Structure 1
């Protein structure tokens, strides 16, 4: 489905949504990703019945599924006309309906439990993060360089890939109309949602997302940040290409990561796939992805601090303006679906 729905697709989409349980499912999935077990607990129905409803909704192009380990999660589609139709339909539903209020309360209870679990996980691993941060220049200096790289610009759509705890969405708060953070880790997402809610950042949201296959349309983002992400990836060039794909003409991509180093402990204990990147390597990926105006900045460790051993590099590039009608602000926001 693309652009509009033909008569058959429209009838199919409306039929799929026109059933009480499926409408309840759509309302829940529009608010966030859930799996079959979640939905059975919220709706009080059997697993086979919930699975059947999900199958019909997926076949109609209203929802999408993604796998995370042994779990399969579902959400209202962001990239099909069927998914966008669903969101418009859901806007007409009375939020005061007692059944829907109960569904929302049960879903909120599940989210609170996950947030508590995530908070505990991050508390348990805080010492590991502190040790890694001590290896490079202060976060204050890195954050200042990241902010400066965008020259005070504001954005309709700001995307943070591999958002983790949502720090970049917080750092750029007030400078975007919509901020979207994507990550594959549900614990990270739960923690980030909790932080953003506490900070009152209503313009920011986080979603599950595969960095190699983003569920976002072409040319939708005015700015994309990849902060300390590439060193966890087995195919960083592919991730850079996907980030470039979603950039709007004139949009900017900022990659922040480590320069080459030899601290093998980061690979062995902290799952780093790559021990930093050479400038020419990242510049080549950016250019191969169709970006231009590449600029490089390096933040060297403090020679007076014996703990610091890593150089942080920033690579910035832009998507060339092209001879096509640029999307308006409202079109961009609609394409990432609120």
Structure 2
């Protein structure tokens, strides 16, 4: 589907949406990406029944599916007229409907449970997180690529989202005048603060923060990195939109994460929510968030030492410079308070 829906396509789309369970599914998938198991838990219905509903919605062009390892996720299509029709229809739905509210509460609880698993893992592995990460990818090669991607004049305010051990703030210390790292896990923050203190890096600080709702003004950071974070998140596209919100016109956003892989053990053993990302998928999120000039670089795994390593992808994107009005200046002292 492209441009507009013809009569048959419109009738098919409306018929697909005109059923109570399928409408509930559309409301959920318009808010987040979910798999069949998620939907069966939220809706309280059998897997075969949910799968049949998903098949019908996909055939009508209202939702899309994408595979990550052995799991398949679904979301309301952002690229088809059917998906855009769904979003228009959902604006007429009463969010106070008790069934939809209950579905939303269950979906939120599911996300909290997943995030809790990840946070428990981080808490247990804060001291050896860098060592664990090195089991899967050559840090030296990745850090060299990051340094190259962010070369140029020093950033006035550089933000590291999901800072973890604070490694990015340490490694890129000569690239910014002021650095801020955000993480939701207090154990990781304590470890990061220890690292920064040991390095004597007074220009950087870390603080507790929600990657989906950052306590920073719009357009205040001219450099942002999201390093090996998205695969832990239930809503990576949401995190990207929030990063773009705080990115200044002309600023740069660098995302570093795994390419798609099938190492299922990472879900259970290391709390990975996603088994990597297709380059085009992340690029689409960046474009939809308003960035351009997207440059993609892939670092192939090293196989010479016998370790299992994963391919890493870097996405560097730019926020267009404002041509109508410049953002109001923000005091870095106030931001850091």
Q: Same fold (TM over 0.5)?
A: yes
Separation in structure 2 between the aligned mates of residue 309 and residue 202 of structure 1, nearest angstrom:
35
Q: Which residue of 2 aligns with 1:209?
A: 209
Structure 1 residue 172, shift from structure 2 partner: 1.0
Indicate the SS of the match to 2:177. Answer: strand
1:277 equivalent in alignment to 2:277: yes
TM-score by length of 1: 0.61
What are the residue-to-residue correspondences of 1:310-329 with 2, within 5 Å? 310-322=310-322, 323-328=324-329
Structure 1 residue 187, shift from structure 2 partner: 0.5
Q: 1:119–1:191: 8 Å Cα contact kept in structure 2? A: no
Q: 1:156–1:332: 8 Å Cα contact kept in structure 2? A: no
Q: Which residue of 2 aligns with 1:225?
A: 225
Q: Which residue of 2 aligns with 1:144?
A: 144
Partner deviation per Cα, 1:41-97 (whole Å, 9 max, x = no partner): xxxxxxxxxxxxxxxxxxxxxxxxxxxx9xxxxxxxxxxxxxxxxxxxxxxxxxxxx
| Runs of 4+ more than 3 Å apart | 118-123, 128-132
1:234 equivalent in alignment to 2:234: yes
Separation in structure 2 between the aligned mates of residue 337 and residue 218 of structure 1, nearest angstrom:
15
Q: Which residue of 1 aligns with 2:131?
A: 130
Separation in structure 2 between the aligned mates of residue 155 and residue 131 of structure 1, nearest angstrom:
30
Structure 1 residue 153, shift from structure 2 partner: 2.7
Q: Against the structure 1 CA distance between its residues 280 and 317, is the aligned structure 2 distance closer, same or farther, given a 3 Å change threshold?
A: same
Q: Against the structure 1 CA distance between its residues 168 and 327, is the aligned structure 2 distance closer, same or farther, given a 3 Å change threshold?
A: farther
Of residues 317-326 and 265-274 in structure 1, the stretch that sits farther from structure 2 once superposed is 317-326
Unaligned runs of 5+ in 1: 1-68, 70-117
Separation in structure 1 between the aligned mates of residue 157 and residue 278 of structure 2, nearest angstrom:
30
Q: 2:123–2:185: 8 Å Cα contact kept in structure 1? A: no
- Number of residue-to-residue matches in the alignment: 216
Unaligned runs of 5+ in 2: 1-111, 113-121
Structure 1 residue 335, shift from structure 2 partner: 4.7
Separation in structure 1 between the aligned mates of residue 226 and residue 124 of structure 2, nearest angstrom:
26
Q: Which residue of 1 aligns with 2:267?
A: 267
Separation in structure 2 between the aligned mates of residue 335 and residue 291 of structure 1, nearest angstrom:
27
Separation in structure 2 between the aligned mates of residue 306 and residue 189 of structure 1, nearest angstrom:
33
State the Cα RMSD in Å. Answer: 2.0
What are the residue-to-residue correspondences of 1:6-25 with 2, within 5 Å? none
Separation in structure 1 between the aligned mates of residue 298 and residue 311 of structure 2, nearest angstrom:
7
Structure 1 residue 303, shift from structure 2 partner: 3.3
TM-score by length of 2: 0.61
What are the residue-to-residue correspondences of 1:10-159 with 2, within 5 Å? 122-123=126-127, 126=128, 130-136=131-137, 138-159=138-159
Q: Against the structure 1 CA distance between its residues 119 and 261, is the aligned structure 2 distance closer, same or farther, given a 3 Å change threshold?
A: closer
Q: Against the structure 1 CA distance between its residues 307 and 160, is the aligned structure 2 distance closer, same or farther, given a 3 Å change threshold?
A: same
Partner deviation per Cα, 1:242-274 (whole Å, 9 max, x = no partner): 000000000000000000000011101110000
Indicate the SS of the match to 2:274. Answer: coil
Q: Which residue of 2 aligns with 1:198?
A: 198
Q: 2:123–2:188: 8 Å Cα contact kept in structure 1? A: no
Indicate the SS of the match to 2:310. Answer: coil
Q: 1:209–1:215: 8 Å Cα contact kept in structure 2? A: yes
Separation in structure 2 between the aligned mates of residue 151 and residue 129 of structure 1, nearest angstrom:
23
Q: 2:126–2:165: 8 Å Cα contact kept in structure 1? A: no
Partner deviation per Cα, 1:94-134 (whole Å, 9 max, x = no partner): xxxxxxxxxxxxxxxxxxxxxxxx999634xx3x7535422
